[in-house]
Amino acid sequence: MTAVTKEDLLFEAMKLPLEERADIAGELLRSLEEPSEAESKGLWLDVAERRLQELRDGKVKEIPAEEVFARGRARRVS
């Protein structure tokens, strides 16, 4: 099985009627607004790895969970 190139795909898509091309364009645009589950997991993993490295490098400090929850409760009450 040969891989389809972007150019091949575009060439074939341009042969479709206007309405079908518009449908495809809309679906592609929506896919940019909402990343797939795999893309979301990858993005979150990148964030977690970056934050862990910041912690290891001493760029940020740990805050005990009790303090975080206390701050949240204080904000909710105010």
Phi and psi at residue 75, to the nearest 5°:
-70, -35
Clarify whether residues 24 and 2 are in a common domain.
yes
DSSP code for 34: S
Clarify whether residues 27 and 41 are in a common domain.
no
Q: Give the pLDDT confidence of 18-72 residue by residue, as tens digits.
A: 999 999 999 999 888 888 888 889 999 999 999 999 999 999 999 999 999 999 9
pLDDT given at position 78:
66
Which token pair is 40? 């979301």
Clarify whether residues 65 and 42 are in a common domain.
yes
pLDDT given at position 70:
93
DSSP code for 20: H
Cβ neighbors of 61 (< 8 A, separation 6 or more) are: 55
Clarify whether residues 41 and 73 are in a common domain.
yes
Clarify whether residues 29 and 41 are in a common domain.
no
For residue 64, the enclosing domain spans 37-77
pLDDT at 1 over 80: no
Clarify whether residues 11 and 29 are in a common domain.
yes
Domain count, the chain: 2
